[in-house]
Amino acid sequence: MPRKRPVASGEPSGLGGLEIALEHRFVSRDLLERAVVHRSHAHERGTPGVDSEPLEFLGDAVLSLGVSWMLYRRFDQAEVGELSRARAHLVSETSLARAARARDLGRHLKLGRGEEKDKGREKDSLLADAYEAVLGALYLDGGMAAAMGVIERDFSRQIARLRPGGSAGQDFKTRLQEALQAAGLPVPKYVVAAESGPPHRKIFSIDLTVSGRAVSRGVGPSKKVAEQTAARRAFRRLDRLIPELIAQTPA
């Protein structure tokens, strides 16, 4: 396991300041550096693909596991559907953007000129994505313990306020379908891309497609959970996804 260096309280702002906010000093600083690189910045620098999106993908899974564990510890007798709705609420774009703002994550983002001009540092979608990317970087650098330290500090109060039978939920499949139909686009389809694991502990990978185009992928212990994850990931990108889909739809 990577050794953890102590965080110096008097370190200046910048990524060192972000490490202080995260209470973790990175052994592999390049992981944190990549976590704050938006794809628009990488494209302008001529390094497409060298951005935060792979870490974001990993961080989404880490966050889902961490919040699921916290919910299980508190509500181990609750119905699975209730836990899933509570988790969806906790890891919504609005919730993650709020957590990112609390750590002043927007200040550290590396954006392209277009996103900078369009106030990308203030967008919930970019902040939520960056938060997940940072969690992915934390996981790779310090293991699940490092990531869980941040997740617990950011979500323990919200979970403490939840009550059995009263957790707020967000049906991202319904919200996504309504948004696409309002834009004149076809309803999304969900296709099983892969199954793994033993029969009693299956893991499903679901591809969400619109007009035959793969838009996002969700992974979960059931098809329903995986579909909701895929819908949530697509819903976060509606601001750029809908124009792209409209442009590719035949007149």
Catalytic residue numbers, as ranges: 60, 132
Burial of 89 from C-beta contacts in 10 A (0-12 / 13-18 / 19+): middle
Instruction: Output the CA–CA distances (angstroms, integers) from residue 19 to 47, 146, 214, in the order listed.
Output: 25, 12, 35
**Contact (Cβ atoms closer than 8 angstroms) between residue 151 and residue 59:** no
Nearest to 63 by CA among 101, 102, 92, 33: 92
Quote the CA–CA distance of 221 and 249 in Å, as a whole number: 33
**Contact (Cβ atoms closer than 8 angstroms) between residue 65 and residue 91:** no
What is the C-alpha end-to-end distance of the chain, expressed in Å?
55
Q: What φ, ψ does residue 222 adopt, rounded to 5°?
A: -145, 160
Quote the CA–CA distance of 172 and 176 in Å, as a whole number: 6
For the four alpha carbons of 102, 27, 120 and 150, in that order, the dihedral sign comes to negative
Is residue 17 left, alpha or beta, with left meaning phi > 0 and alpha meaning psi from -120 to 50? Answer: alpha
